[in-house]
Each structure stands twice: as C-alpha cells, then as structure tokens.
C-alpha cells in the first residue's frame, strides 16, 4: 500500500513566495507561532528575545507557510477497509509536500524496513520524522479488533492527516504534542550567545588520495581541516534535536544497511565542506553564502569517492536531495551506513554523505523545500562533461534565473491625517522603492531610490526626494538627489546614512517590532543637517521628521493602525497590502 502526503494552500506558490520576500508575518500569525516582545517578557525571556534581535534573526520558525490542509492521497482522511484482521502489510509513505515535514506514528510502534526505497535492517520505533522527498516503508499488522490508525502530524503542530486501515473500530494513535516555540527560541538564543555560529566553517574542497599521502586543497583553511574529525562523528545527528516538545525523535542512527555500503578505499576522495545559510528577513537561502546564480557548480570527476560535509547554520531543517545518485548517510553504523537520495540536515547540526561518482553530466543538488530552492539554496553537481543534446530546448541559463526573479508589491495607507503609497520591486541583490506620503494639510514627500545589496545586511543606495509644503518652507517643492548606505543593525532596526546634492548629511532609522501576535510597533525617523556648504546663507540648521504607528493585523492584506507623524499629526487608518 502506498500513501502520499502533501500540503495544500489556497494561495498559488508565486503569491506565497512574494509574501515571504516582503517579510509579511501573516503565516506565523495565522499559526499562532510567533514570539512577540510582550509575551517574551512575560515568560522571562527578554534576554533571549534581545539575542535574536542582535543576531538579526526573526522569530523561531519550524516552517515558513500556513497551509489550509494536509492531505493523504489527496484527501484529509482516508479509510482502507479491504484488509483482514491480523494481516501484515507493507506501507510505503512518500512525503510529496512543498515545505512540510511530518511526524509519523501509529496505533503502535512502526517497524521501519526501507528508506528511500532501499532496504534497511528492520527497526521498531515510536515516531519517524519524514522530510520532504523522503520515502519510508513500514511493516504494520492490522489489529484483530479494529483499524490501524496511521497519523502524519505537521512538524510545526499546525495540523495533521490520518489513514485508517482495517475494520470500523479505529484504534487511535497517540496525539503528537505541539512544539513549544518559546522554548525553541530560548535554545536558539543560547546557541547564538556570543554573536557567532559554532558550526560556521570556511568552505573548502580537497582531494585525498587513496594512499592518504597526497592532498590537494582548494579554498581550505587550517580551521576547516581541524573541524573535519568533529563533523565525521555522526552519532549525534538527530532529527528534531531543537524540538524538545516532540517526545520521541527519529535518529538516522536507527537506519542500518543489511550489507556494507562502503565505497572502495582505492578511489581518490573529493571532500567538499559546505554551509547552509540564509537571510530570513529577506528570504534569501544560500549554500556557502551564495545563491545558485552566483556560484552554481560543484565540480567532480568520474570514479571518485565524493564526500559532502554539510553544516546547517539556520534555525530550520533542510532536506537536501541529489538527483541521479544514492549516497551513504554516514552514521554510527559505519560500513553499514544507509543509502538514501534525500537527507535531513537539522538546525545547527552537521551531516556527512558519501557517494560513488559513477555518472556523467550535470545533476541538481538542492534543498527540497520549494521556497528555499526557488530562493537560491541549490547547486549543480557537475562531472564537467558535454551537456546532453536532448536538453537543448532547456537552456542551462534558465536554471540560474529563478533566484534572480523580481517580486513586486504595493502598500497603500489611508488615515484620518494622511495617505501613503509605497511600491517595491526587489530580487536577491537589487531593490527599487518608491514612497509617497501626503497629508490633508497639503504637505507631501516623495522618495524614489535604488538599493544594491553588497552582503546579507548592507546595501548602497542612490535616489531622489521631493518635499512639498515641508516643515521647512524654504525647502518646499525642491528635487534633491542623494547617495548613501543602509544596514540592518538588528532584526527589528534598519539604519541609513545619506548625503544629498546640497552636501547635507542625513541619518535614518526604521523599526518594526512585534508586540503581540497581531500587534506591531512601526516607525521611521530622519535627522537632516544643513551646514550651508552650498548656498549664500552661512547658518547651520537641522530638521527632524518622524512617525510611528501601532498596527493591528486584520488579515494577510489589511492592517488597521493608530499613528502619529510630526508633519501630519495624529490619525487612525487602514493599510492595504497587495
């Protein structure tokens, strides 16, 4: 019997990805999994909350998306009655979800007999965490007096789907408890105290000869070499290590091949160290700090033994899948480590895989969470051989364009004191932003700028701004250009320093702080100084403009707010997102 698990959203995938790119927290609000400031303080976790702010990390996430339903073979629940009491069946479970891990359990313990279609030494276990694209085979016995209940619960606790196999009386499986997100936030904060990630190792590729006497290293460091022995100890690689509320977790150590999977020691070994990392605020997912379009290929040679050491430096699991190959997941079973085609890399853990390079051409290697892959977390494992002629209708360059796609969104505000309209067009490295605000007192400001990201958190910008009916009447209706730099100082605070065409320096601060599940505090402050470097007057002046708002999220596309702007006064209004 085969069952296919999936996740269902009423939104299309492009709309979901746009919402993630604009850092709209609606999905975590809908799931009630956010960790805002006030509840954090009430739980005695103010320091932990500050640690995440400092490390420019958003709320702790197990998953990114809110799904309307979880399905098994296309339905929320399935009943299969055409089996006999006491009958043993082989149940193959395939996770075909876009981004959902499932915790699997049943009426009684599951007997694992295969992983990713390859037999393993049979093992009994209470629960199994199945990553996207993974497959597990179980042997189950139908109860004598009812139906076996097979349950798949979304790892983030947001829902489940169920299969009943047998006669009418259902023998229910134990419920899987929901994760404690504040406890997870505390663990992540403890991990990041000191402002660094202990698993961050400089990436390298090195060639180890079959005699271990010759080693050629590329992009290697002494630190990376010293780390190798630590990363090869896979006995500590556990699924869900960061999820204390999931009582029984699945460890790849339970998977043991019936026969040796060792690759010949006579083969030259190519060892590749890589880091999985991200900027979750901008929803950019990377390998070794680069998206696919900027660093696409891992070059290998036929007949090598290839070893990947993967360090997950993010708070989320990543199901890494290599096309066209089975690989050994190195675990405590050594020479009998299991063969798989997809491997889960848990948060802040390291996993090592090995495979025999016995193919040719190019093979995609990627995170199987759809939105991580589309945002850059992928590579091409290449034998550096001529491309298959049958692929001519599918240019290679198109593969590299996915993470460079521009996303467009608008924000429109209408309040009793003012109105506003903002347009964003952004991709991985570029942003075009147009902002217009106007008050019913005939004052307005229009700003248009281009930003270029030079790293995860810093970007240069150039733009023009026009003030009309400004607080400073002598500067009204003037068009002024400027250039500057911006940086994400904290996850909730962005800062910028600009100099305009009149040589006036300007400081900008912008903040967005979650106070409660649906309540946020937002604001913007500008301080502009005029030293009269250009002009006839020899007089120093400065100008302060600021606004703040308490916003309440009504739904994904609508917020209400109470706001104040020192140009337009107090007001109440609505903010539309589209």
Q: What class does CATH assign to 407-577?
A: mainly beta
Task: Dump pLDDT digits (tens) for 14-71.
Answer: 999 999 999 999 999 999 999 999 999 999 999 999 999 999 999 998 999 999 999 9
Q: Which residue has the higher pLDDT, 143 or 250?
A: 143
pLDDT at 168 over 60: yes
Residue ranges per structural domain of the chain: 201-404, 407-577
Q: How far apart are CA 91 and CA 138, in angstroms?
A: 5
User: Could you report how far apart the first and last alpha carbons of the chain are, in Å?
Assistant: 44
Task: Dump pLDDT digits (tens) for 275-290.
Answer: 999 999 999 999 999 9
**Are 545 and 476 contacting, i.e. CB atoms less than 8 angstroms apart?**
no
> What is the number of other CB atoms lying within 10 angstroms of the CB of residue 182?
18
Q: Give SS3 for 410.
A: strand
Going by C-alpha positions, the residue among 409, 367, 346, 288 that lies closest to residue 17 is: 409
Tell me the mean pLDDT in the region 351-366: 96
pLDDT score for 477: 65
Which of 192-206, 307-321, 432-446, 556-570 shows the lowest mean pLDDT across its residues? 192-206
Task: Dump pLDDT digits (tens) for 496-554.
Answer: 999 999 899 999 999 999 999 999 999 999 998 887 777 656 677 888 999 999 999 99
Which of 175-184, 202-211, 256-265, 302-311 shows the lowest mean pLDDT across its residues? 202-211
Task: Dump pLDDT digits (tens) for 437-486.
Answer: 999 888 888 999 999 999 999 999 999 999 876 545 555 567 899 999 99
| φ and ψ at residue 462, rounded to 5 degrees | -140, 140
Exposure string of 160-179, with b = 16+ CB inside 10 Å and e = fewer, is bbbbbbbbeebbebeebeeb
Q: What class does CATH assign to 201-404?
A: mainly beta
pLDDT score for 502: 87
What percentage of the chain reaches a pLDDT higher than 90?
Answer: 77
| φ and ψ at residue 197, rounded to 5 degrees | -110, 120
pLDDT at 224 over 50: no
Tell me the mean pLDDT in the region 138-161: 94
Structure tokens at 284: 């950019």
Going by C-alpha positions, the residue among 122, 132, 121, 127 that lies closest to residue 108 is: 127
Q: To which residue do tokens 């030079």 refer? A: 454
pLDDT score for 235: 40
pLDDT score for 244: 34
Q: How far apart are CA 165 and CA 149, in angstroms?
A: 7
pLDDT at 218 over 90: no
pLDDT at 236 over 80: no
């Amino acid at each position: 019997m085969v069952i296919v698990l999936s996740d269902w959203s009423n939104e299309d995938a492009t709309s979901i990805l746009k919402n993630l790119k604009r850092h709209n927290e609606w999905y975590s609000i809908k799931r009630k999994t956010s960790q805002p400031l006030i509840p954090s303080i009430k739980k005695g976790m103010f320091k932990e909350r500050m640690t995440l702010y400092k490390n420019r990390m958003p709320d702790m996430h197990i998953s990114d998306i809110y799904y309307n339903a979880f399905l098994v073979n296309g339905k929320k629940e399935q009943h299969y009655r055409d089996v006999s009491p006491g009958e043993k069946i082989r149940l193959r479970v395939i996770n075909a979800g876009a981004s959902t891990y499932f915790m699997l359990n049943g009426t009684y313990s599951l007997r694992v007999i295969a992983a990713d279609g390859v037999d393993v030494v049979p093992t009994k276990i209470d629960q199994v965490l199945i990553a996207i694209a993974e497959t597990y085979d179980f042997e189950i016995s139908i109860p004598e007096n009812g139906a076996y209940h097979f349950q798949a619960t979304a790892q983030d606790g947001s829902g489940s789907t169920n299969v009943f196999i047998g006669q009418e009386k259902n023998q229910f499986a134990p419920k899987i408890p929901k994760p404690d997100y504040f406890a997870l936030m505390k663990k992540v904060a403890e991990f990041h105290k000191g402002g660094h990630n202990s698993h961050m190792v400089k990436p390298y590729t090195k060639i180890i000869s079959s005699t271990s006497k010759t080693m050629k290293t590329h992009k290697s460091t002494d630190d990376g070499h010293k780390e190798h022995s630590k990363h090869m100890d896979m006995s500590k690689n556990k699924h869900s290590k960061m999820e204390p509320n999931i009582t029984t977790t699945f460890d790849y150590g339970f998977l043991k091949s019936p026969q040796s999977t060792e690759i010949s020691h006579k083969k030259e070994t190519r060892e590749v160290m890589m880091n999985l990392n991200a900027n979750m605020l901008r929803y950019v997912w990377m390998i070794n700090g680069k998206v696919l379009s900027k660093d696409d290929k891992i070059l290998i040679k036929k007949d090598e033994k290839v070893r990947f050491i993967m360090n997950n430096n993010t708070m989320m699991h990543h199901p890494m899948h290599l096309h066209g190959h089975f690989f050994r997941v190195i675990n405590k079973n050594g020479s009998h480590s299991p063969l798989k085609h997809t491997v889960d890399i848990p948060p802040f853990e390291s996993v090592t895989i090995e495979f025999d390079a016995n193919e040719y051409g190019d093979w995609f290697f990627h995170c199987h969470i759809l939105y991580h892959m589309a945002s850059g977390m992928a590579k091409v494992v290449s034998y550096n051989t001529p491309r298959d002629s049958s692929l001519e209708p599918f240019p290679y360059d198109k593969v590299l364009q996915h993470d460079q796609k521009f996303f467009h969104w608008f924000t429109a505000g209408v309040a009793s004191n003012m109105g506003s309209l903002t347009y964003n067009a952004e991709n991985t490295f570029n942003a075009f932003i147009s902002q217009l605000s106007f008050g019913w007192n005939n004052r307005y400001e229009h700003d248009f700028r281009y930003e270029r990201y030079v790293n995860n958190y810093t970007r240069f910008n150039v733009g023009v701004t026009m003030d009309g009916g400004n607080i400073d009447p002598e500067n009204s209706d003037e068009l002024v250009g400027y250039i500057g730099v911006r940086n994400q100082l904290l996850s909730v605070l962005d800062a910028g320093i600009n100099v305009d065409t009149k040589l006036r320096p300007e400081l900008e601060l912008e903040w967005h702080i979650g106070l409660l599940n649906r309540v946020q505090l937002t604001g913007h402050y500008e301080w502009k100084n005029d030293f009269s470097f250009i002009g006839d007057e020899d007089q120093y002046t400065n100008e302060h403009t600021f606004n703040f708002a308490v916003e309440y999220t009504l739904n994904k596309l609508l917020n209400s707010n109470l706001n104040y702007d020192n140009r337009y006064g107090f007001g109440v209004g609505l903010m539309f997102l589209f």
